[in-house]
Chain A
C-alpha cells in the first residue's frame, strides 16, 4: 500500500514535510513560503542545553513549531501524538496509514540506515513522512533525500524512540481536517513576518534572536581560556556543523527567508521587501564567510588564521545587520497597515 504522495526534496526537513503534506491535499506551496509562514528564521545559543557535551546552537524554532504555525494560519486541523509504548506508537501509525493519511514524525538520525555514516550523531529533531507500507517495510519520504526510502518496522521503531537530547518519543502528526483551509492571503503573510520580527528582536533573554548572536560572540571570546585550545576548536566545529548540517539551517536559512521575502513582496505588493531580501542575501553570505574562516581556524590549515576574537567580531557585525534588517522589516509591514 502506498499513498499517492509526491516526494520533493527540500532544504530543511520540517518545511519539506509540511510542503509535501500540503501538496498531498492539493495545495501547492513552496518550501520558502512554508518557512516564512511558519516564522522559521531564528537564532539561539543555549549553553545549558547540550548535545555531545557541548552547547546547542540552533537557527530554527523548536521542532514542530513551523508546522503548527502554518496549519494555524491556514485554518487546517492537525493532530499530534506522543507515546510511551513503542507498540502502540506503531499500531497507531498503521491505523492512520490504512485510513489514507500520510503521517509526519520526529526521528533520531543516529540509526537511520540511509544516512552517510559521518552523520550518525544523536540528533533527534529530524522530520520524515511515512507514506506507505509493504509487508514489513515502511515507505518513507525524507525531505533531505532525493528519492523515497524504505525502513523496516524495527528500524522505524528504533529511530522513533531514539535516545539522547530531546528524545522524539514516537512523536507524530497528521492533518486530520482539511475542510477549513483558507488560501494564503496578505494578512497571513504580514502576521507571519511580524511574528518572526518579534522572535528575532523581542525575546527578553540573552540567548535568543539577534541578542543570541551577540551572546555567542561574547562567549566565543572566552572559549580558549575557558575550555583550552582543543575543546574550543571542538566547540567551534559544533557551531559550524549546526550552521551547515541538515536540520538546523544557519546560512541556508537566511537565503531561504530571503527567497520567502521575494515571494511575499509580489504577494502583498510591497516592493520594499525585495530590497530587504537582497540585504538578507548579503547577510547570508556573511554567515558563509564566518563558516569558511571558522573551518580554517579549527583545521589550522594556514599560518594566518583568524582568532576567536576576530570570528566574534564577524558575528557582532552580522548581529547588527540582522537587527537593522528586522527593525526595517517590522516598520515596512506595520507602515502599510
Chain B
C-alpha cells in the first residue's frame, strides 16, 4: 500500500478518538506510519453485522408485542448480549435469564431484579419494561 492509497473513509471512527494506524510505503519504497479514519469495506462489514442484529431485533419485537416474548429478549438481542454473558454481568444464572425472556415470568419480576437487569444492560428500568 502506498501512502496516497491509505483510505480515509470516515464513517464510524470520525466522531471518536479511535484511529487506525496504517503502514504504507513512500515513493522510495520506505515504510512510514499513516493515520487513517477507516476503510469502506471494513465499515461495510461492521454495518452489515449491525444491520443483521437490528433486523433480528425487529423480528423479536414483533413477538414481544404479540405477547410471546418479554421485552428483555428484545433488549438483550439489540444490545448483542447472550443469556450467558448477561448472566455474568447481572449475577443471575443463565437459566434464570432464559426464563425471564418469557412474558409471564418477566411480569412477575420485582423492581430490584429489574434494576439489576437494567444495570447490566446499561439501560433504565423504564426502557427495559417497554419494547422501544
Chain B residues within 8 Å of chain A by Cβ, number = 38
A1 within 8 Å of B by Cβ?
A: no
Contact A145 B18 (CB under 8 A): yes
| Cross-interface CB contact of B45 among A122, A149, A237, cutoff 8 Å | A237
A163 touching B85 in the complex, CB below 8 Å, given contacts A237-B49, A240-B45, A284-B1 = yes
Q: Which of B25-33, B63-71, B97-105, B124-132 makes up part of the contact surface?
A: B25-33
Interface string of A51-81 (1 = CB under 8 A from B): 0100000000000000000000000000000
Contact A118 B50 (CB under 8 A): yes
Interface string of B47-81 (1 = CB under 8 A from A): 11110100000000000000000000000000010
Dominant secondary structure at the A interface: helix
Q: Which of A220-228, A251-259, A311-319 makes up part of the contact surface?
A: A251-259
User: Chain A residues with Cβ under 8 A from B17's Cβ?
Assistant: 114, 145-147, 149
User: Chain B residues with Cβ under 8 A from A31's Cβ?
Assistant: 21, 33
Contact B22 A252 (CB under 8 A): yes
A234 touching B39 in the complex, CB below 8 Å, given contacts A118-B12, A240-B45, A298-B44 = no
Number of A-B residue pairs, CB cutoff 8 Å, is 127
A241 touching B35 in the complex, CB below 8 Å, given contacts A255-B22, A278-B29 = no
Contact B25 A281 (CB under 8 A): yes
Of chain B, the residue at the smallest CB distance from A53 is B82
Q: How far is the CB of A234 from chain B (nearest CB, A)?
A: 6
Of chain A, the residue at the smallest CB distance from B48 is A237
Q: Taking each of A10, A31, A163, A255, which has the highest tally of chain B beta carbons within 10 Å of its own beta carbon? A: A163
Q: How far is the CB of B8 from chain A (nearest CB, A)?
A: 14
User: Chain A residues with Cβ under 8 A from B30's Cβ?
Assistant: 262
When chains A and B are docked, how far (Å) is the Cα of A288 from the Cα of B47? 18
Dominant secondary structure at the B interface: mixed
A244 touching B45 in the complex, CB below 8 Å, given contacts A11-B23, A32-B23, A255-B24 = yes
When chains A and B are docked, how far (Å) is the Cα of A114 from the Cα of B18? 8
When chains A and B are docked, how far (Å) is the Cα of A294 from the Cα of B82? 28
A 271-303 contacts with B by CB, 8 A: 277-278, 281, 284-285, 288, 291-292, 294-295, 298-299
B20 within 8 Å of A by Cβ?
A: yes
B88 within 8 Å of A by Cβ?
A: yes
When chains A and B are docked, how far (Å) is the Cα of A120 from the Cα of B15? 15
B4 within 8 Å of A by Cβ?
A: no
A241 touching B31 in the complex, CB below 8 Å, given contacts A10-B21, A119-B18 = no
Q: Taking each of B24, B45, B49, which has the highest tally of chain A beta carbons within 10 Å of its own beta carbon? A: B45
Contact A244 B23 (CB under 8 A): no
17 further A-B pairs in the complex, CB-CB below 8 A; given A122-B85, A164-B85: A52-B80, A119-B46, A146-B17, A146-B35, A147-B17, A234-B48, A237-B45, A238-B49, A240-B45, A241-B49, A258-B23, A259-B23, A277-B31, A281-B25, A294-B41, A298-B44, A299-B44
Would you list the 10 A-B pairs with minimal beta carbon distance, nearest first?
A295-B41, A163-B88, A259-B31, A244-B42, A240-B45, A255-B23, A11-B21, A116-B16, A237-B45, A295-B44
B-side residues, CB < 8 A to A, are 1, 12-13, 15-25, 29-31, 33, 35, 39-42, 44-50, 52, 80, 82, 84-85, 88-89, 122
A-B contact pairs, 27 of them (CB 8 A): A9-B19, A9-B35, A31-B33, A32-B31, A114-B17, A115-B16, A116-B15, A146-B35, A149-B17, A163-B85, A234-B49, A237-B49, A241-B42, A241-B46, A241-B49, A244-B42, A246-B20, A255-B1, A255-B24, A259-B23, A259-B31, A285-B1, A292-B41, A295-B42, A298-B45, A298-B48, A299-B48
